[in-house]
Amino acid sequence: MLAEQRHAYVLERLSAEGAVRVTDVVAGLGVSDGTVRRDLELLEQQGLLTRVRGGAVPVASAAVPAAASGAAAASSLLGVPPPMLAAHGGA
C-alpha cells in the first residue's frame, strides 16, 4: 500500500471518529505499527494532526489547555475516564 493511501485512510478515520489509535490503523491496513507511527509523525509535521500516546487527534483538539489535553486525549482514545488514568499513572 502506498504512503498516500495510508495517509488518506488515517485522515479519513480521524475525521469520522475524532481520534485514531495506532492499533486500529495497523489492523485496518495490515501494516506494521512502526509504519503507522512514522506516518503519524509525518502527518503531524505537515500540521494535519496531533500525535498523542497511542494514536492521534485532530489539530483542533490541540487547542485544549495543555494541562487538560493529555488526559482528555488519552481518555478519548482509550475510553477511560481521566480520573482513572491519573489513578493508574496515565496522562
pLDDT tens digits, one per residue of 9-64: 999 999 999 999 999 999 999 999 999 999 999 999 999 999 999 999 999 765 54
Instruction: Give the pLDDT of residue 67.
Output: 44
Instruction: Give the pLDDT of residue 19.
Output: 96
Write the DSSP assignment of 12-78 as a string of letters. Answer: HHHHHHS-EEHHHHHHHHT--HHHHHHHHHHHHHTTS-EEETTEEE-GGGGGS-HHHHHHHHHHHHH
Instruction: Give the pLDDT of residue 60.
Output: 77
Query: Is residue 72's pLDDT more than 70?
Result: no
